[in-house]
Amino acid sequence: TGGFTGRGNQDLEAETSDSWSFGVVFDRDLSTIGQMTVSLDYFKIEIEDLIDTVERQTAVDFCFENAQFPNEFCTLLTRDTDGPAFQLGELTEVNNGFINEGTLETEGIDLSLLWSWDMQDWVQAVPGQVSFRVNYTHLLDFTEFKFGELDELVGEVGFPENRWQTALVYSLGPVQAIWEWNYIEDPVADKSSDLFNFDVGTNSVHDLQLSYNFAEGSLLTGTAFEGTRLYFGVNNLFDEDAPIILSGVPGNTTGTDTNADVYDPIGRSWYAGLNISF
């Protein structure tokens, strides 16, 4: 049976939400220890009238199982009205479309640290400036209520309980080196299913970038291309494999054997670039 993916809905309404957040910030120059900024934030978000995709099987199920018939789900179904008599009324299309349905609640804690210092304040013989950054999220709740079912997603793929990003930046005049580490805690494929309630595995990816800013160097100083920046980098430096999520397992992205929205399915990759301002 054919059909369209992402069929439009002229009755679609905007989502509505309530958000609460509060936090504290510590920002201080610690003299020779460096400049430090630390922020701790709590957030809670509730969304109603979710814009969600009605999958094809869901459209069929809810069209016929709903107490009211026909209903909005039935609009995604198309029947034969002009074919031979023995075909009249059969389904010719089951479409995938959008609808306002259900609610979402999420709650968590964000921690951010930025620490910068001058190396010569620590060791006189070592020049340059260093910055250390950490962004950490602890997810307390991520719950969806859609099509009459409650789904608690914390701990599943895409909704890890803990994840962080760490970066170390070293600058010496026009030269800058950035090392970045992204870590995602071990989730499961689907907690609500005994068949798929298995560990997927942690994911730890390191990236590296080197750059030269001609505006701070001497090669093009005073020229029209003083704003030129040359950079080179490696993503997934240690060629970390993405967790295996095979076809048929919740979260799989077709053709990648993983969830490509969350994990890097490519492996180590190199890039170079040149930015010119004139």
178-188 pLDDT tens trace: 999 999 999 99
pLDDT computed for residue 219 by the predictor: 57
CA distances from 244 to 55, 188, 190, 251, 264 (A): 25, 11, 14, 10, 11
Highest mean pLDDT (candidates 89-98, 106-115, 210-219, 268-277): 106-115
The one-letter amino acid at 38: V
Question: Average pLDDT in the 184-195 region?
Answer: 92
Question: Average pLDDT in the 105-110 region?
Answer: 98
Determine which of 57-71, 181-195, 233-247 has the lowest per-residue pLDDT on average.
Answer: 57-71
187 token code pair: 């989730």
266 token code pair: 């490519």
7-41 pLDDT tens trace: 788 888 999 999 999 999 999 999 888 999 999 99
The span from the CA of 278 to the CA of 273, in Å, is 17
132-147 pLDDT tens trace: 999 999 999 999 998 8
Residue 126 predicted with pLDDT over 70? yes
165 token code pair: 């990003």
Question: Average pLDDT in the 167-194 region?
Answer: 94
pLDDT computed for residue 221 by the predictor: 58
**Nearest in space to 156 (alpha carbons), one of 19, 264, 9, 262:** 262
pLDDT computed for residue 110 by the predictor: 98
- pLDDT band of residue 190 (cuts 50, 70, 90) is very high
34 phi and psi, to 5 degrees? 120, -175
pLDDT computed for residue 234 by the predictor: 98
Residues 6+ apart with CB under 8 A from 249: 189, 190, 196
Tokens 């240690």 belong to which residue?
A: 238
